[in-house]
Amino acid sequence: MATNVRPLNDKVLIERAKAEDKTKGGIILPDSSKEKPKEGVIVAVGQGRITDQGERVAFQVKKGDRVLFKSYAGTDVKIDGKDYILMSEEEILAVVE
């Protein structure tokens, strides 16, 4: 896990869920046609957004939350050979419980 990474301000680090290997009908998908999942688990959070008055706003999500996010949200990063997404909290759409 990327424990040595601390996102800044309102950023979160997300480990994307694995893409499906085959369709519901049983067809095996090659890597080139797999759709990237829009779901993942938060592995690290920043300290929160800073308002115009200089106050920090607490996160609505926390480490370990399973979340849904926009299709083209964030920036793909590779840390210690593992793929993650670094994005703002506002790009997260929902927490899956």
pLDDT exceeds 80 at position 21: no
**Rounded to an integer, what distance in angstroms lies between the CA atom of residue 3 and that of residue 76?**
17
- Can you give the residue range of the structural domain that contains 70? 32-96
SS3 14: strand
Residue 71 lies in a domain: yes
pLDDT at res. 16: 86
Within 10 angstroms of residue 32's Cβ, the number of other Cβ atoms is 5
Residue 92's CATH number: 2.30.33.40
Asked whether residue 12 is assigned to any structural domain, the reply reads: no
What is the rounded average pLDDT of the residues 20-25?
64
- For residue 19, tell me if it sits in a domain: no
Q: What is the pTM of this model?
A: 0.79
Question: Could you tell me whether strands 11-16 and 39-45 are parallel, antiparallel, or unpaired per DSSP bridges?
Answer: antiparallel
Of 29-33, 44-48, 84-88, which gets the smallest average pLDDT? 29-33
Report if residue 20 sits inside a domain: no
Q: Is residue 18 part of a domain?
A: no
- Per the domain annotation, does 41 fall within a domain? yes
Question: What are the pLDDT digits (tens) for 41-52?
Answer: 999 999 888 889
| Burial bucket for residue 47 (CB in 10 Å: 0-12, 13-18, 19+) | middle
Number of compact structural domains in the chain: 1
Q: Is residue 25 part of a domain?
A: no
